[in-house]
Structure 1
Amino acid sequence: MKKTLYTVFAAALLTACGSGQLIQDPQTRQSVEAGVEARSVWLPELPAGITPQEKEGLQFLYAYMPVSDVADYPTELYLSNVRASLKAEAEMPWGGTVPNDLFLHYVLPVRINNENLDTSRVTFYDELKERVKGLSMADAILEVNHWCHEKVIYTPSDGRTLSPSACVRNAQGRCGEESTFTVAALRAVGIPARQVYTPRWAHTDDNHAWVEAWADGKWYYFGACEPEPVLDMGWFDGPSKRGMLMHTKVFGNYVGDEEVISQTPLYTEINVTHNYAPVATATIAVKDTAGAPVPEAQLDFGIYNYAEFYPAVRKKADRNGTTTMTAGLGDMLVWATNGTDFGYGKLSFGKQDTLTIVLNRRGGTGETYSVDLDIVPPAEGKTENRVTPEQRAANNMRMAQEDSIRNAYVASWMTKADAFALAQKIGADTTKVWNVISTSRGNWAAIAQFLTDAAAQGQLDVAFDLLDVVSTKDLQDTPAAVLADHLNGAAPYKEAPYFKEYILNPRVGTELLVPYRAAMASEPSTIEEIIAKAKAVQLADSLNPSRIPMSATGVQKLNMGDKAGRDRYFIAMARSKGIPARYEPVTGRLQYYDLSATCGTEAWKNVDFDGELAALAAARVPRGTLTVNYTPSKHNDDPKYYSHFTVAKLKGGRYSTIELSNPDADMGAAGSLSAIFARPVELEEGDYMLVSGTRMANGTVLSEVKFFTVEAGKQTTLDMTMREDDDAVQVIGTMNPEAKFVPQGASEPQSILATTGRGYFVLALLEAKKEPTNHALRDIAALKSELEQWNRGLVFLFGSEEQLAAFNASEFGELPKTITYGVDKSGEVSAMLGQSLELNNMNDLPVFVVADTFGRVVFVSQGYRIGMGEQMMKVIRSL
């Protein structure tokens, strides 16, 4: 029946005519028809009584959405968004000026990245329609961003992306969530919008996301929830001019005039680097050792970041063995392979028009050799200030008003006193209740209801265990009913082994938590039947190329999903029946706990759905050991994994970074070289690559790439070098610039970055009336004019209000006017610096740090140090 309905409608798409068509381009209509036909067996039926345009809108979405979205969200959600999009097109003054292809790809789609979906578009439109009434399209974009800032402010968090509504409810989000939320708000009023993403900066170990919106024939950029007085302006103006790659993913089979990086059946990846930075195009030719072209060779374009050459773009050569790439004017490592042989070369965009890579390497040779690579990022570019002082002042005033609106909303959440009253009412520990209520932010009412209901059922102990084992973000967007499903479904098994971690815990990966326990009631109860049921799931990895997390109930509904969804379904079934199940923390292998295992036998059993473990066991891959020696240098006494070095293994002509850490070491030191190689590390035999790199303050990386082999039953010993340049300033550590303190005269905490603005800054921890601090401040006073001319923020913090009150700046002559004084009231800044910079004694003050927007530290001084000021200034002069 479904197939008949979809076939009839697909034919209608091709024969429909008239101005009422939603899909106007014949090629697009054919693509939608093909997508619908290919999915007809498992797509839901369309609701009765909808209009032809609503049908076309739903068909466009269903033709390209990942299988997870079909399984996890009802048709009603998509229909409400389609109706909201059509309403905005009809009612907004620019609705008739937006080209049809932009409307389909940049207004109609619900999904923006990997966020949890919702019907926020409906409520956003109701709030925004009057605010943008009478505005030009460009001014409406600015206004929407002001509204977004009124709702949400930046806060770092984990990798799961909250829905736009959840961001508003919690009044915060990381850059990926802010940009997703802002794109949703712009689309709500019919403005084409897209999230722009740099997968890796070239000049620092970080990434970022922001927004582009279309108005009157042009794409404009801006920082999400960070309104500026004009468009094409943001704090990332400078970094983006140094970008090697900035891209966006467009829903569906998009055919535009922008460079396509890659095309999948569900989305098109577009290169937008030219919107931000000077770019150059290079041609890469891949040849074998005889000089013949290698047709369809696979190429990785690697940006050095987090001590690895991250494959930011993967392309396939044409039948002549060539491809092209457009990127910012810096260096990438280009890797090419035919699946067995490989070759590589550094490509300097703007300096090289062509690069020839010869596949003259392969595994199994036992060869050990090193290659030094100086990886230079694009140069800093000038940023244009197109804002008058009057515009800046007016914008700052607006932002302050928006802050007050958002802060008033936050202040309406449950107070500590009310949380204590709730705790007393339900007979719970007051501190426990306040901790979960305060962490839950805008979701506090759901958490309070959940605790109240759990207390009434006599399950408060299990309820707190549940709230303890889920993530912070789960507390902020999980409804009470979902938590109750997991509490009630798991409580009967609370005496089972690993109950809290692997039965009660509903979280597996980065999926949205759903009430799967009740849904699993009809599933089999024995582990053998559960394994068989999960194994019968139809795998469809190709239908989820972005790896959107699919819920267990979604897999159950369609009996189809990708491998991760299938595994999640197995874990959900097992845990729902009181059987501990997990991904093993070190190897990541899927396991269950054999409740019938006798004493002395291994109770955790691997689950091998695809025969991979059996094949591995049959192959009996021999293992050897690796030791890496390192002589401490003056700048780096103990390199860190993913900061200074990584190890990668060769497979299929490509090297992939492996995980290395020492679980027995303290958390902060677990990834240090000395901890990892405290004893020889066991590795499978094969070919490996050790990448190390020293990041200089200008962004250049001095890298050494060492290729080596691990032989069965033998130890491989390497000497690692951190290359250095004594004539250049280098990055010596990282810190969190979002750490908060209380500025002098303020009542609310504020982040370091919000105080200093973007760029380099000085952070100091001081102790009033103590000679080491006094000595350092006299150094600072002597450098007053030079520091003021530098015109960057200086944040000087004391450990308490009493310390700050005891400080008398006049004792030191004239200190720079660029200093902001404050109190590290909670000790957050001190603890952060101690951990991230591995400072042994945070009572040894003063501490001075020079760092930048991205938390890259280029100078640290602790305790009494003669000439500290001049040493710090020498670094600043070199930046």
Structure 2
Amino acid sequence: MVLCVLCVGCAAHGPKAGHDLIVPDEAAGAKEAALRVERVLADAGDNAPELLQFLNLYEPGTPRHRAAWFLVANLPVADAVSMSADELAEYVDYAFIARGATPWGPSIPWSIFLRYVVPHRSAQEPAQPHRRRFFEQLSPMAVASGDIRRATLAVNRWLFSRAGYAPSSRRDQGVMDTLLRGSGRCEELAIAFIAACRAVCIPARPCLVPAWRHSDGNHLWVEIWAEGGWWPIGAGEMDSDFGVGWFIPPALSAAVAIAPAYGNGPSDEPVFATRRGCTVYNRTEHYTPNGTIAVEIFDEGRPVPAAEAIVFVPEGGGFRRLGRIVCDGRGRGAMDVGGGDYLLGTGRDGRTDYAWVRVEAGGFGGASLDLARERLPEGDRWVRFARYPDIAQALGSAYEAIRAARSEYMNVVEARRLHEFAAIAGITSAVMERGGLARRDEAMVQVRAAGRRGYEVLRLLTRSDAADGETLLDCLLGMSAKDLVAMDVDAAADEARLIAGLRGVSGEGDAAFAAFVMPGRVDDEPHSHWRRAFAERFASLAGRKAPVVATAAVLAAGELRVVESGPLGPPLTLLQNLETGLAAGRRERAAFAVAILRSLGHPARMLRDADWAEYLDGGRWWPLYPGRADAMDDARVAAWYGERGELELRLEDEEGRVAGAAAVYGRDMLLARPLLDGGLEPLDDPDMRYDVARGATVFSLPAGRYLLTLVRRDAQGQPYVRIRTVDIAPGGGVSVVLPLDLPAGGPPGDLG
């Protein structure tokens, strides 16, 4: 192997002196690899010496050295600032141990081993060491299985015995937290399954449908590399097998199926997207007959080089963004998708254009966008997707046969798991009853939510008889299940004492204190015990009025250096923001400002439909805009707090009668802001009410342009979409009447 030497110098918060790094001359190019590592080291700040120590553990030119370099070159920011040399080395060392210990390990190609066995993560979960533990626990069972297929099924049975499916928040929990809780949503079970497979040298990666076409929602499963190819299997689903699962039939109608992989570099698979430290592969053709969207983007008839088109499909009451088509120098681009109709949008210099395109299996669907048109989507139409009922029935029958054969054993295994949790709950309940603990019913909800960490919740609850016990109990009862599992008992008790001492500081009342000071969760950041560190860092602001603290908070948040984050790796925790001076975008900066105010006793909150935050003063909410002491000079902020307009939406049935509140916001209807790049930004939490007297849903909205959508589906899930452009003026009113029923006759023809 050809080697070159890179001298990495000092960076802000980075290595304190130059270091010689032996850079493998990989196919991607030694210079490019060196630049990626240098960027990671710069972002790592004070943790850079740990990464350098890890890189220097292995003899240059060896496979282990190449693997270590690959990990660091693609390390997400949250891992770069926190993972130690020992933690990273655990993944490299045990990957090679498992490669030698398993019968199939030596036959796995190097590129597959490097990308789908060595890496420590597969999604946005917080990094939690697990490789050694999983290898020690699972390797005897895997080796005894004899081959990679049987070993995979054995690992999946093990996961099913430890954790089951349960819906939860979109924030990913760590691998070990899923096992401690005993539950997770599909992505979290997949993360745990992938981690367990990789520990015994089974190459594994996630694969997902970002949006189902036959219904709302999405799904993620696992692909296993075996016998020279990738095979789908449901994570923690004992009724799934290689190429067989409940999700296989609906995937026939998928718009796209994509598989994110750790790292950047060459591959023979079609690429869907490339981001920092991650390559996303387009797997659509392996799940459904696919075709190609071919788009051309113009400006007054002239091609727009390197333009981008955003691809949408209906989901819920609006549209879900699938991805981007990046065009070439002639303004042309393409994307492979499943058969059906798609909405395309593009934008540049404040002008946008949208168009519909239909793609049939094996064919091309062409669309032409021109920025000079400056148009938004409008009107009513069926949005078709391809269906293959005969194939789906055959695939469904294969799944049902496996499910029937395994159901009895599945029931036994699940009963054992549930019995374990019931025993924890029973013991905890008895202890609380004997101790006379207040609010036992509420506390037991938290104990059950914490799964195998129920005893730690009990341990914290037993401290609630202290002077600050009521505050401690309030804090614990307000925590999400994922935070209950991730918390440290001593740190949680310490935070409760701090919070108890802040009562009355703001003068905004107990309700505001409970809702906007006490919670440790600010946004979607991973759990951390941040409150004491923030209170100490900003102690000079203690006792100051809310506007003074808010001004200091937005300036401090504005000083956080924004770093690029890829699709792998979690957001930075608030504690990491504080310790590193980094933030992955404006929203993390806003959360940082909220944390400053809360740590000093002032109510503050994030906004779901804006990228700034708010603080409460004098009974009124005021903007917290990172980096700006006076946020009102921003047009969007000024519109948000200025005079609003009103949208009245009346829904009628086919006979013209008012349909009442039959449509649910988010599920059936949605408002979105058109963005300058052709995107659509949904409003998650608009100010709305149903006015019985008017028979209408009434929205109070900041001035601006919105896209109103109403989506209804037929018995096969085919959506009918009604789209209206709504311009809201300050103090103005707009009334829209939409029919709620589907048009007679159903969708024309059939696709697929």
Out of 184, 194, 201, the position equivalent to 2:205 is 194
The Cα offsets for residues 393-435 of structure 1, whole Å up to 9 and x where unpaired, read as: 65334423422442343244131x6424334326534334433
Candidates 353, 372, 375, aligned match of 2:364: 353
> In structure 2, what is the equivalent of residue 38 of structure 1?
39
Q: Which residue of 1 aligns with 2:503?
A: 494
Aligned residues of 2:316 and 2:711 also touching (Cα < 8 A) = no
Q: Does residue 1:371 correspond to 2:393, yes or no?
A: no
Letter in 2 for 1:158: S
Structure 2 SS opposite 1:720: strand
From 450, 460, 474, the counterpart of 1:465: 474
Give the AA of the match of 1:555: N
Per-residue Cα deviation, 1:785-814 (whole angstroms, up to 9, x for no partner): xxxxxxxxxxxxxxxxxxxxxxxxxxxxxx
- Over 3 Å counting, the alpha-carbon distance change for 1:374 and 1:673 in structure 2 is farther
Worse-matched range after superposition: 84-93 or 158-167? 84-93
Hey, what's the Cα distance between the residues in 1 that align with 2:123 and 2:193?
A: 12
Q: What amino acid maps onto 1:681 in structure 2?
A: S
Residue in 1 that maps onto 2:529: 515
Contact 1:243 1:328 in 2 (8 A): yes
- What TM-score do you get using the length of structure 2 for normalisation? 0.85
CA contact (8 A) 1:6 1:37 kept: no
Amino acid at match of 2:124: N
Preserved contact between residue 485 and residue 515 of structure 1 (Cα < 8 Å)? no
1:606 maps to 623
- C-alpha deviation, 1:252, in angstroms: 1.2
- Equivalent residue letter for 2:538: P
Correspondence for 2:649: 628
3-state SS of paired residue (2:517): helix
1: CA distance between counterparts of 2:524 and 2:318? Answer: 24
Map of 1:445 onto structure 2: 455
Match of 1:538 in 2: 561
Bigger relative contact order (CA 8 A; separation at least 6): 2
| C-alpha distance in 1 between matches for 2:722 and 2:636 | 36
Corresponding position of 2:4: none
Q: Is residue 582 of structure 1 aligned with residue 589 of structure 2? A: no
Give the counterpart of 1:227 among 234, 238, 243: 238
Instruction: Write out aligned runs for 1:159-178 (5 A).
Output: 159-178=170-189
1:572 to 595, 610, 616: 595
Q: Which has the larger radius of gyration?
A: 1
Pairwise CA distance, 1:166: 1.4
Shift in Å at residue 196 of structure 1? 0.8
The alpha-carbon distance between structure 1 residues 729 and 170, as it changes in their structure 2 partners (threshold 3 A), is farther
Q: Which runs of 5+ in 2 are unaligned?
A: 1-6, 542-548
Q: Which of 319, 327, 337 does residue 337 from structure 2 map onto?
A: 327
**Structure 2 CA distance, aligned partners of 1:358 and 1:586?**
29
**1:646 paired residue among 670, 678, 701:** 670
Quick one: which amino acid aligns to residue 474 of structure 1? Answer: D
Structure-2 separation of matches of 1:671 and 1:314: 42
1:684 and 2:684 are equivalent in the alignment: no
Letter in 2 for 1:335: G
CA distance in 1, matches of 2:217, 2:107: 38
Cα shift at 1:182: 0.9
CA contact (8 A) 1:335 1:344 kept: yes
User: Any residues of structure 2 matched to 1:235-254 within 5 Å, and which?
Assistant: 235-254=246-265
Q: Are the aligned partners of 2:197 and 2:203 in contact in 1 as well (CA < 8 Å)? A: yes
Structure 1 292/630 Cα, relative in aligned 2: closer, same or farther at 3 Å?
Answer: same
Q: Percent identity?
A: 21
> Per-residue displacement from partner, 1:275-308 (whole Å, max 9, x unpaired)?
111111232122334x322222220111111122
1:203 aligns with 2:214: yes
> Given that residues 8 and 21 in structure 2 are in contact (C-alpha distance below 8 angstroms), is that contact kept between their aligned partners in structure 1?
no
Change (3 A) 1:136 1:629: same
User: How far apart are 1:218 and its partner, in Å?
Assistant: 0.9
Does the C-alpha gap of structure 1 residues 543 and 226 become closer, same or farther in structure 2, counting only changes over 3 Å?
Answer: closer
Shift of the 674–36 alpha-carbon distance from structure 1 to 2, 3 Å rule, reads farther
Number of equivalent positions: 702
Is the CA contact (8 Å cut-off) linking 2:652 and 2:740 kept in structure 1?
no
Q: Which has the larger displacement, 603-612 or 464-473?
A: 603-612
1:105 maps to: 115
CA change 1:176–1:543 in 2 (3 A) is: closer
Rounded to whole Å, the distance in 2 between the matches of 1:400 and 1:695 is 35
CA change 1:674–1:510 in 2 (3 A) is farther
- Shift, 1:174, TM fit: 1.0
Shift of the 423–458 alpha-carbon distance from structure 1 to 2, 3 Å rule, reads farther
Task: Please tell me the residue identity of whatever aligns with 1:51.
Answer: Y
1:114-157 Cα offsets, whole Å, 9 max, x none, are 11221122222112111111421122112211111111111111
Which residue does 2:3 correspond to in 1? none
CA distance in 1, matches of 2:435, 2:654: 60
| Aligned-partner Cα distance in 1 for 2:343–2:399 | 42
Cα distance change of structure 1 residues 36 and 388 upon mapping to structure 2, 3 Å threshold: closer
* TM superposition shift of 1:447: 0.7
CA contact (8 A) 2:125 2:569 kept: no
Paired AA for residue 689 in structure 1 = L
What is the 5 A alignment of 1:389-468? 394-415=405-426, 418-425=428-435, 427-455=437-465, 457-468=466-477
Q: 1:390, 1:713 → 2: CA distance?
A: 62
SS in 2 for 1:255: coil
CA shift, 1:477, in A, is 3.6
Contact 1:281 1:324 in 2 (8 A): yes
Per-residue deviation, residues 499-549 of structure 1 (Å, max 9, x unmatched): 322222111112222122333353022125444433322122x23556832
Report the alpha carbon displacement of residue 362 of structure 1 after superposing the two structures with TM. Answer: 5.2
The equivalences for 1:480-491 within 5 A come to: 480-491=489-500
Partner of 1:616: 634
Q: 1:560 aligns with which of 582, 589, 604?
A: 582
Query: Residue deviations 1:192-223, cap 9 Å, x none?
Result: 11111111011111111111010131100011
Name the aligned partner's letter for residue 98 of structure 2: A
Shift of 1:623: 5.5
Q: 1:693 to 1:543 in 2, by over 3 A?
A: closer
Paired residue type of 2:382: D
Deviations 1:717-769 (A, max 9, x none): 33223352344599xxxxxxxxxxxxxxxxxxxxxxxxxxxxxxxxxxxxxxx
Cα distance change of structure 1 residues 420 and 691 upon mapping to structure 2, 3 Å threshold: same
Alignment of 1:74-113 (within 5 A): 74-113=84-123
2:289 maps to a residue whose letter is P
The aligned counterpart of 2:57 is: 50
Amino acid at match of 1:538: R
**Residues 287 and 356, structure 1, Cα contact 8 Å, conserved in 2:** no
Mark the CA change 1:90 to 1:671 in structure 2 (over 3 Å): closer, same or farther. Answer: farther
Asked if residue 318 in structure 1 is aligned to residue 328 in structure 2, the reply is: yes
Call closer, same or farther: CA 1:372–1:411 in 2, change over 3 Å. closer
| Cα distance in 1, alignment partners of residues 166 and 296 from structure 2 | 44
| In structure 2, C-alpha distance between the alignment counterparts of 1:548 and 1:149, rounded to whole Å | 25
1:532/1:302 CA distance change after superposition, 3 Å: closer
CA distance in 2, matches of 1:389, 1:584: 45
Deviation string, structure 1 residues 292-332 (Cα, Å, up to 9, x no partner) = 22222220111111122222111221111110110111111
